[in-house]
Amino acid sequence: MKQTLMGNDAIAWGLIHANVDMVSGYPGTPSSEILTVVQQIKHKLNLNVYAEWGTNEKVGFEVAYAGAIAGKRTCATMKQVGLNVASDALMSAAYIGNLGGMLLIAADDPGFHSSQTEQDSRVFAKFARIPVLDPATPQDAYDLTKYGVELSEKFQIPVMLRPVMRVCHAREIIEMDEETNFKPNIGEFKRDVPRWGAVPRKDRFPQGKEQLNRIEVIKEYNWDNLLKSEFDKCEGKNRVLVITSGTGYGFTKETLSDLDLEADVVKVLMPYPLPVEQMRDRFKSYDKVLVVEEPYPCVEEQIASPNVYGKNTNSIHQIDEMSKEEILKAFQNIGFYEGENIYATPPSLDFEVEARPPALCPGCPHRDVYYAITKVFKKKKSIYPSDIGCYTLALAQGAIDSILCMGASVSMASGFSISDPDKTVVATIGDGTFFHSGIAPLINAVYQNHKFILVILDNSTIAMTGRQTTPSRANKDIDIKKIVEGMGIECMEHHYSYEMQDNIDFFREVKKVHADATGPTVVVVREFCILDRERAPEFIPNIFAKVDPELCIACDQCTTIYKCPPMAYNDDGVIEIDPFLCAGCGGCLDVVCPTDAFVQDFDYLKRGN
Amino acid sequence: MKYQIVIAGFGGQGVVFLVKVLAICAGNRNIAFLGTENHGMSQRGGSVSCDIKIGEFTNPVIDKNQADLMIALEKNEGLRNLAFLKLSGTLVTNAKDKDKYPELPFSGFAKIDAFKKAERGEFPIQGLNVYMLGFALVNDKNFPFSVQEVKDAITSMNAKVAEQNIVILDQAMRDAKESK
Ligand SMILES: Cc1ncc(C[n+]2csc(CCOP(=O)(O)OP(=O)(O)O)c2C)c(N)n1
Ligand code: SF4
Ligand code: SF4
């Protein structure tokens, strides 16, 4: 059956068509839609599938892994940095293995489009010694999802699928199974203590030996089933061979055709483990072998030989995502192409255009809370560690000093409070991130009496990645305030108010409490996300703003510190509110403007906006 | 047929919607295509550009100097992405009349102040994407799909808002012909 699908949709269908009946994981771009689409298919076709988010990637992985031990077919999904969080579990699972198939999906983001790092999950698979599959297109993603589940069951080891953003978010017509005959698996845990409860060194050492053997067997399997036929197709054209992994294939094919060049191209579907000896043997027929892969030299390092060129020989770009221009340059570098750069554009087309970075939505409560924090805790005397989520965009308000990885705001607040005790440390973290990895470091801060302020921005959703449900909002009302109180400390609570003075007054109170405190002062601010259709309407006051041009003195306060997107200078040099963008939150009417130039636009709704 | 289209805009303008419409057009005619979309960070009002390559392609990204058509939903977003358009290609852009616009070397060029039309209430701003698609249909003489194919795709995407979207599309095409 032909179907137009995005890569992540294709993976979700692949899981269903492989009879995977347990999917867990944690959201993160570019992986998030996979689990959501499985949930949609489940509801549409009324399938007996567990498809739910975990509190973080480690939890998500372990839930799925236990399912696979008990004979279910399972999947854990996450973005590449999520795998760092799940890696402790993965490293051991790679020794112990599983009975039912388990597919670990780690979606990479070459080019740092929405990620803190450009790390390569294929290298992680190699580190853990599990096989990894690298799709080039959504069609590959569908096929390799099914293949990976089978492979995992065959070799009794988790198998990784590593799609990059340009696969997850690519769209094409997919050929998929005609019908969905979903057969859930029967889960039955079979006690096998030496295996599932393997202890060092007695049980783990033999498992380590098995792991090494298994990798050798899978190498042969890779050659016999995937690679040999690819090499057999080669004709030795121009004595140049291009070895590609994932998207490298599609980019290479197009570059060759754009440049009217001929070379053999091998598509590596399983970039680890590679049958290195067999491959090197085939390299003998070529003068040059170029490796095209992203983002790290995973294949290249395994097959290194004197005639192999790639990132480590400085023949192709080492950072940033794939482009045909980079491949063209690599062809030039290895002396395969001498023509012009057809991807270069005339310099006359380079216009200086003002950057348009992402910003907090108009009406987002995070903006007002940060505004109040910076009003009360002055920059010179404060340090503002923050975390990962929509609120990270408050960087633009000068309200954030550091970002590391999820949960780090709390432990870094500890570190800053010890190392620079003269400043007030005001850390901010979202509710999603607090549940993910903020609790353990807060316990540490209470344990060690670290004196700082932690502001938990509770908008009851994981907004940044598409508003997935937070743990507090599903089955039980898991209350952040009670979690904090359970640590034996007070948790101050504030309901975000569109009247800015209320927020400022609250933080003044926080400042007083902190002055007398000996340990952490924790605050939860109850907010909402303006895009949250269920909750937002309850809270938005529908107070739309306009500017009184007589009052605006063009002082830049609103465009540099408050920064709501509808605010911009008009031709007369005064601020104007873009009526298409104003969300009616009323946040700017109070305090934000020194001359109170923002006034309510009573006619806003009447004008049919 | 091979036709490469860049759609440039910013978060909230419905750039991805247009990719989906064009994908359905291609799918309905059983022509292969590959597109790539922006999700995540880029959604919070930041720059968004999506590519769709119609015909036999093996990667979804449009490289520099390759696109046949660029539909820019806002002036600066168009200018930011000019490098992807080939000189023989066509640029259709939304740009405010009062803003200065540079001389550009492309074979096809058309510009309209769609913001002004929306401000005057001629169409709802949420339909800007569809409006610019209609504008492109008239101004790109090589546009790969017919008006009817585009309308069918819009209808199959979301029947509820299809009627309104088709009204916007028709109006954009009338405006485009008038301004020619
Ligand atoms: C380890 C890891 N997993 C996932 C992500 C992707 N991610 C970015 S922000 C975010 C969560 C944000 O939620 P929350 O803290 O509630 O803030 P909000 O966006 O709602 O303001 C996630 C999951 C990541 N960056 N790192
Ligand atoms: S999506 Fe929600 S939390 Fe994120 S910036 Fe917009 S309103 Fe704020
Ligand atoms: S009322 Fe003011 S702060 Fe709120 S969305 Fe409109 S312009 Fe922004």
Could you read off the pLDDT of A555-570 as tens digits, one per residue? 999 999 999 999 999 9
CB contacts of A464 in chain B (<8 Å) are: 40-41
| pLDDT band of A275, cuts 50, 70, 90 | very high
For A453, phi and psi rounded to 5 degrees? -110, 130
pLDDT digits (tens, 9 = 90+) for A364-373: 999 999 999 9
Nearest residue of chain B to residue A4 (CA atoms)? B27
Q: What is the mean pLDDT of chain A?
A: 96
CA dist B124 and B21 (Å) reads 19
Cis omega (within 30 of 0) on the bond before A273?
A: yes
Q: Are residues A388 and A449 in the same domain?
A: yes
CA dist A227 and A492 (Å) reads 61
Across the interface, whether the CB atoms of A173 and B32 are under 8 A apart is answered yes
| Per-residue pLDDT, A178 | 95
Q: Evaluate if residue B113 carries a pLDDT over 70.
A: yes
Across the interface, whether the CB atoms of A360 and B121 are under 8 A apart is answered no
- Residue nearest (by alpha carbon) to ligand 2 atom 3: A529
| Per-residue pLDDT, A349 | 87
Distance between the two ends of chain B, CA-based, in angstroms? 27
A164: in domain:
yes
Q: Are residues A124 and A46 in the same domain?
A: yes
| Per-residue pLDDT, A127 | 98
A241: in domain:
yes
| Per-residue pLDDT, A116 | 93
Q: Are residues A385 and A480 in the same domain?
A: yes
pLDDT, mean of residues A300-316: 98
CB contacts of B44 in chain A (<8 Å) are: 358-361, 390, 393
pLDDT digits (tens, 9 = 90+) for A62-104: 999 999 999 999 999 999 999 999 999 999 999 999 999 999 9
Q: Are residues A37 and A165 in the same domain?
A: yes
A284: in domain:
yes
A207: in domain:
no
Q: Are residues A15 and A163 in the same domain?
A: yes
Closest Cα partner for A94 from A122, A65, A120?
Answer: A65
- Buried b / exposed e over A159-191, threshold 16 CB at 10 Å, is bbbbbbbbbbbbbbbbebeeeeebeebebeeee
| A86 Cβ inside 6 Å of ligand 1 | no
Q: Are residues A545 and A498 in the same domain?
A: no
Q: Are residues A499 and A565 in the same domain?
A: no
| Per-residue pLDDT, B40 | 63
The residue from A494, A511, A536 where one domain ends is A536
Closest Cα partner for B72 from B44, B120, B104?
Answer: B104
| Per-residue pLDDT, A157 | 98
- Domains in chain B, start-ordered, CATH in brackets? 3-179 (3.40.920.10)
Q: Are A418 and A491 in contact (CB under 8 A)?
A: no
| pLDDT band of A608, cuts 50, 70, 90 | low
The residue from A536, A553, A577 where one domain ends is A536
**Gap from A563 CA to chain B (nearest CA, Å):** 13
Q: Evaluate if residue A609 carries a pLDDT over 80.
A: no
A12: in domain:
yes
For residue A600, give the ligand nearest its CA. Answer: 3
Closest Cα partner for A215 from A278, A175, A159?
Answer: A159
Q: Are residues A114 and A237 in the same domain?
A: no
- Residue nearest (by alpha carbon) to ligand 1 atom 9: A389
How many domains would you assign to chain A?
4
Q: Are residues A286 and A372 in the same domain?
A: no
| pLDDT band of A606, cuts 50, 70, 90 | low
pLDDT digits (tens, 9 = 90+) for B51-90: 999 999 999 999 999 999 999 999 999 999 999 999 999 9
pLDDT, mean of residues B2-29: 94
| A85 Cβ inside 6 Å of ligand 1 | yes
Q: Are residues A13 and A144 in the same domain?
A: yes
| Per-residue pLDDT, A23 | 98
Q: Evaluate if residue A452 carries a pLDDT over 70.
A: yes
Pick from B44, B98, B118: CB nearest A361: B44
CB contacts of B77 in chain A (<8 Å) are: 356
Q: For A367-387, what is the HEC assignment?
A: HHHHHHHHHHCCHHHEECECC
Q: Are residues A431 and A322 in the same domain?
A: no
- CATH number of the domain where residue A605 is located: 3.30.70.20
Percent of chain A topping pLDDT 70: 99
Helix (H, G, I), strand (E, B) or coil at A394: helix
A45: in domain:
yes
Q: Are residues A519 and A548 in the same domain?
A: no
Q: Evaluate if residue A464 carries a pLDDT over 80.
A: yes
What is the whole-number distance in angstroms between the Cα of residue A500 and the centre of ligand 2? 18
A133: in domain:
yes
| pLDDT band of B160, cuts 50, 70, 90 | confident
pLDDT digits (tens, 9 = 90+) for A335-345: 999 999 999 98
Q: Are A468 and A32 in contact (CB under 8 A)?
A: yes
Across the interface, whether the CB atoms of B40 and A465 are under 8 A apart is answered yes
Is the ipTM, as predicted for this complex, more than 0.90? yes
Percent of chain B topping pLDDT 90: 88
Residues 6+ apart with CB under 8 A from A414: A441, A444, A445, A448, A450, A452
The DSSP symbol for A178 reads S
Distance between the two ends of chain A, CA-based, in angstroms? 44
A537 at the B interface (CB within 8 A)? no
Nearest residue of chain A to residue B51 (CA atoms)? A170
Q: Are A167 and A138 in contact (CB under 8 A)?
A: yes
| pLDDT band of A257, cuts 50, 70, 90 | very high
pLDDT, mean of residues A29-57: 98
- Range of the structural domain that residue A551 is part of: 541-609
Helix (H, G, I), strand (E, B) or coil at B110: strand
| Per-residue pLDDT, A604 | 78
CB contacts of A247 in chain B (<8 Å) are: 59
| Per-residue pLDDT, A607 | 61
Q: Evaluate if residue B37 carries a pLDDT over 90.
A: no
Q: Is the dihedral of CA A97, A98, A103, A106 positive or negative?
A: negative
A212: in domain:
no
With 0-12 / 13-18 / 19 or more C-beta atoms within 10 angstroms meaning exposed / middle / buried, residue A550 is exposed
| pLDDT band of B180, cuts 50, 70, 90 | confident
- CATH number of the domain where residue A424 is located: 3.40.50.970
Nearest residue of chain B to residue A248 (CA atoms)? B59
With 0-12 / 13-18 / 19 or more C-beta atoms within 10 angstroms meaning exposed / middle / buried, residue A404 is middle
- CATH number of the domain where residue A248 is located: 3.40.50.920
